[in-house]
Structure 1
Amino acid sequence: MEYATLGRSGVKVSKICLGMMSYGSPDWQKWVLPKASGEHFVRRALDSGVNFFDTADFYSYGESEQILGDTISNLASRHEVVICTKVGLPMGSGVNGGGLSRKAIRSRVEDSLRRLRTDYIDIYLLHEPDPLTPLEETLDAMHDLVREGKVLYAGASNYPAWAMAKLAYASRYGYGRRWSVAQIQYNLCYREDERDVLPLCDSEGMGVMVYSPLARGWLASPGTTNASAMSAEELKRLETDLKARSLYGNDSDIAVRACLAKLAERRGVSMSCLAMSWVMSRPSVTSMLCGVLQDKHLDEAIAALELKLTADEILELNAAYRPQALKDTGLGAVLQSGTKSE
């Protein structure tokens, strides 16, 4: 396993981070695996040298956090692992069931601490922007948690550059501490954050966590779906992950996938391994989240660490991409669609 320093902090995290969204309750999403599977993959990740785990209270409405907390308490010393969780998406139908108000954050962090069976959270992320709460209120609440020791590092997920910049500069000049972490959607098919978010993170010393390195499975196969070659878990996610269909599949995505498939065949490796190797070759990326449904998925992520692309291969993959509109994964989209998909 390889490790990297999280931005300008002193903490080191594995370059592979196990994404816990895949474990919890199939009532939340049909493709989600039950507790026993979550325990198995956390154990396998630990055995492989992974010390970094990402979850959120929204995932299976708390069950994902519960699985991670129970498993870590049984298999590892708390100080040996780095736990990231998130706050902000709706946990109930009440008027204060979501958002980033002081009231919501103070209540939800206590619930997360209890489920995770810990007295502190290493990295606490704002899951996405809350347009109804003033930035100052959210920052006050987050920095109070840092001062109290309940949170070690504060960060944000799915924030556009202008909003991430406000968090970074207000934190540095108003509170005397840096905003530590950005979590972004980033892969061969979606690279819009290269324009501004990643340069901002480099300038401000923020650690970068990447999710959807395979574009929610779009980059895992050349496009001719062979159901007989897929596991039951993979097939169920393919059929029921509505967000994947809404985000990927345009002409640019098709061209990128074709280029990736050609290079993977030439190198004699899987498309998944090659796509993840590209992500981890990006100098701004600290760690890559892996949503593991089968043992082979974790094996491919580990193999991607060892696969080194040449400069010409990176140029070849980069050339297939065309700039595109930002993909909407904001709170408004979730509420309007009525879907429980993250």
Structure 2
Amino acid sequence: MRYRTLGRTGIDVSTYCLGTMMFGAVGNPDHEQSARIIHAAMDAGVNFIDTADMYSAGESEVIVGKALRASGRRDEAVLATKVHFQMGEGLNRSGNSRRWITQAVEASLRRLDTDWIDLYQVHRPDHTTDIEETLGVLGDLVRAGKIRAFGSSTFPAEEIADAQHVAERRGLQRFRTEQPPYSLLARGVETSVLPTALRHGMGVLTWSPLASGFLSGRYRSGRAVDLTSGRARLNPARFDPSIPENVTKLEAADRLAELAADIGRTLPELAVAFPLAHPAVTSVIVGPRTAEQWEALRKGSSVVLDDSALDRIDEIVPPGTNLYQPDGAWKSPALTDTRLRRRPREERPAA
């Protein structure tokens, strides 16, 4: 396992970050099996673990907390979790407000059974909350010792930059990390997100290196796709072979699989090694559901791609290109909220 410093936090983390989204009811409901994966990853040198309050409605955090407590290795782990999405029913149980974050962090600490969180991440932007308020409460949590550092996740480049500038102007602590989607099939963040993070000295932990399973080797052109199991069950539209976008993904995956074979690697190994070749990236999140999946990914932890392999990747999927929308769980309110793109009628100028 290799290690890099997480931005300018001074915290050294493994280049593999164990993602736990698939631990719990959404993926693997067996707590003991999930704990064994956590222990095996740590035995292999992984010291970075990422979860979120909304993963299986908090169950993932519970599993991670139990596993670290059982192993007695909490001090070894750099533990990251996230806040933003709706938790339970009712108003004011989501978003990036001071009111919600102060409640949510306490709930995460209880579920994780820990006194502190190493990296607390804002899971998505919130256009209803001033970024100054969000940065203010996160800074207060650092001073209170509840979190060690904080970052953003899936923020557009302009909002990353704005948060940095607000922090400087107001004398606030700033986002130290960004967690964007990045894979061989979704390279859009290369255009501005990764350069922005690099310019501000932020650590970057990328998610979905296997493109939601498309680069797992399980899905290939000409093969029937079982839409009732695995990740396809969670989002059938992402895998339906009758959709033109998915045909494009399958064709690219076939060519990438050929490349992987040519260099003596599996497609998943190639996929996980790719984000780590970018100078902005600190760690890549791998999210196994089973022990077998973890073992398959572990074997590629030392893979370093040379220029010839990277050049061939560029020919298949050009830099900065997204072959699919990498964040199906969230879209910018600037596009989805009509209030943000239609002038109120009483304010429209007369013809």
TM-score (structure 1 length as normaliser): 0.88
In the alignment, the residues of structure 2 paired with residue 225 and residue 92 of structure 1 have an alpha-carbon distance, to the nearest angstrom, of 42
Aligned residue number for residue 235 of structure 2: 242
Question: Could you tell me which amino acid in structure 1 is paired with residue 134 of structure 2?
Answer: T
Shift of 1:239: 3.5
Range with greater deviation from structure 2 (307-316 or 247-256):
247-256
> Deviation of residue 84 (structure 1)?
0.3
The amino acid across from 1:270 in the alignment is T
User: Residues 243 and 64 of structure 1: is their aligned pair in 2 closer, same or farther, counting only changes over 3 Å?
Assistant: farther
CA contact (8 A) 1:211 1:290 kept: yes
Counterpart secondary structure, 1:220: coil
Partner of 2:5: 5
Alignment-derived partner of residue 208 in structure 2? 212
Distance 2:198 2:266 in 1: 31
Q: CA RMSD in A?
A: 2.6
Residue in structure 2 matched with residue 50 of structure 1 by the alignment = 46
Match of 2:279 in 1: 283
State the one-letter code of the partner of 2:178.
Answer: A
| Identity score, percent | 35
Is 1:72 aligned to 2:61, yes or no?
no
Q: CA deviation at 1:288?
A: 0.9
Matched, 1:310 2:306: yes
1:223 corresponds to which of 202, 220, 223:
220
CA distance in 2, matches of 1:308, 1:130: 37
Structural mapping, 1:104-183, within 5 Å:
104-183=100-179
Rg bigger for which structure? Answer: 2
- Quickly say closer, same or farther: Cα 1:103–1:332, change in 2 above 3 A: farther
Aligned AA (2:18): L
The aligned amino acid for 1:118 is: T
CA contact (8 A) 1:161 1:197 kept: yes
Compute the displacement of 1:33 (Å): 3.3
Instruction: Confirm whether residue 193 of structure 1 aligns to residue 189 of structure 2.
Output: yes
* d(CA) in 1 for partners of 2:239, 2:142: 36
Match of 1:264 in 2: 260
- Structure 1 pair 281–257 and aligned structure 2 pair: CA distance change class (3 A): same
Asked if 2 retains the 8 angstrom alpha-carbon contact of 1:17 and 1:289, the reply is yes
1:20 to 2:20 alignment: yes
Cα 1:269/1:332, change in 2 over 3 Å? closer
Q: Does 1:202 align with 2:198?
A: yes
Offset of residue 268 of structure 1:
3.2
Task: State the Cα distance separating 1:244 from its structure 2 match.
Answer: 7.2
Following superposition, the deviation at residue 250 of structure 1 comes to 4.2
**Unaligned regions of 5+ residues in structure 2, if any?**
337-351
How far did residue 309 of structure 1 move?
A: 2.1
Count of matched residue pairs: 327
Instruction: Report the CA distance between 1:71 and its aligned residue.
Output: 1.1
How far apart in 2 are the matches of 1:205 and 1:160?
Answer: 16
Q: Which amino acid aligns with 1:318?
A: D
Q: 2: distance between equivalents of 1:128 and 1:256?
A: 29
Query: 1:339 aligns to what?
Result: none
Query: Closer, same or farther in 2 for the Cα pair 1:9/1:244, shift >3 Å?
Result: farther
How far off its partner does 1:226 sit?
6.2
Q: SS of 1:84's equivalent?
A: strand
CA contact (8 A) 1:23 1:37 kept: no
The answer for the alignment partner of 2:348 in structure 1 is: none
Query: Structure 1 segments of 4 or more deviating over 3 A?
Result: 224-228, 246-252, 324-334
Secondary structure class of the residue paired with 1:97: coil
| Offset, 1:240 | 0.8
